[in-house]
Structure 1
Amino acid sequence: MSDRAVPAVEEEVDYEGLGDNVPLHINMIAGSLAGISEHAAMYPVDVIRTRMQVLSATPAATYTGVIQAFNRISSVEGMRTLWRGVASVIMGAGPAHAVYFGTYETVKEATGGNREGHQFASTAFAGASATIAADAFMNPFDVIKQRMQMHGSQHRTVMQCASTVYKQEGLRAFYVSYPTTLTMTVPFTAVQFSVYEWAKKVLNPSETYSPMTHVSAGAFSGAVAAAVTNPLDVAKTLLQTRGSSTDAQIRNASGMFEAFKIINAREGLKGFARGLSPRVLTFMPSNALCWLSYEGFRFFLNEQAKASV
Structure 2
Amino acid sequence: MGGNKQGPTPPIVSIVSGGIAGGVEGFLTYPFEFAKTRAQLRNVPGVKSPRNPFSVVGQVYKNEGMRALYKGCGALVIGSVGKDAVRFLSFDTVKNAFRDPETGALTPARNMLAGMVAGIVASATAVTPTERIKTALIDDAREKKRYRSSMHCIRTIIKEDGWVGLYRGFAGTTLKQASATSFRMGSYNIIKDFEEVRGVKQSTAVNFGNGAIAGVVTTLCTQPFDTIKTRSQSAEATTTMEAIKTILKDDGIRGFWRGTVMRLGRTVFSGGILFTTAEAVAKILNPIVVPLVAP
Q: CA deviation at 1:101?
A: 0.6
Contact 1:34–1:290 under 8 Å retained in 2:
yes
Between the aligned partners of 2:6 and 2:242, the Cα distance in structure 1 is 42
Contact 1:18–1:299 under 8 Å retained in 2:
no
Q: CA deviation at 1:85?
A: 1.3
- Taking the TM superposition and a 5 Å limit, the aligned residue runs for 1:1-309 are 19-58=6-45, 60=47, 62-112=49-99, 115=103, 119-138=107-126, 139-150=128-139, 151-152=142-143, 153-204=145-196, 205-206=198-199, 208-241=201-234, 244-245=235-236, 253-255=238-240, 257-305=241-289
Contact 1:85–1:148 under 8 Å retained in 2:
yes
TM-score, L = length of structure 2: 0.89
Rg larger in 1 or in 2?
Answer: 1
Contact 1:100–1:133 under 8 Å retained in 2:
yes
Contact 1:31–1:94 under 8 Å retained in 2:
yes
Contact 1:52–1:64 under 8 Å retained in 2:
yes
Report sequence identity in percent.
25
Q: C-alpha offsets along residues 122-144 of structure 1, whole Å, 9 cap, x if unaligned? A: 11111111111111122111111
> 1:75 is matched by which residue type in structure 2?
K
Q: Secondary structure at the match of 1:229?
A: helix
Q: Secondary structure at the match of 2:252?
A: helix
Cα 1:175–1:116 change in 2 (3 A) is same
What's the C-alpha RMSD, in Å, of the aligned pairs?
A: 2.3
Contact 1:113–1:119 under 8 Å retained in 2:
no
Unaligned runs of 5+ in 2: none
Q: CA deviation at 1:96?
A: 2.3
Q: CA deviation at 1:18?
A: 7.6
Q: C-alpha offsets along residues 12-37 of structure 1, whole Å, 9 cap, x if unaligned? A: xxx85685143211111111100101
Q: Secondary structure at the match of 1:27?
A: helix
Between the aligned partners of 2:221 and 2:152, the Cα distance in structure 1 is 35
> 2:33 is matched by which residue type in structure 1?
D
Number of matched pairs? 286
> 1:158 is matched by which residue type in structure 2?
S
Contact 2:168–2:239 under 8 Å retained in 1:
yes
Q: C-alpha offsets along residues 214-238 of structure 1, whole Å, 9 cap, x if unaligned? A: 1111101111111111111111111
Between the aligned partners of 1:201 and 1:108, the Cα distance in structure 2 is 13
Cα 1:141–1:113 change in 2 (3 A) is farther
> 2:98 is matched by which residue type in structure 1?
T
Unaligned runs of 5+ in 1: 1-14, 246-250
Contact 2:6–2:104 under 8 Å retained in 1:
no
Q: CA deviation at 1:203?
A: 4.2
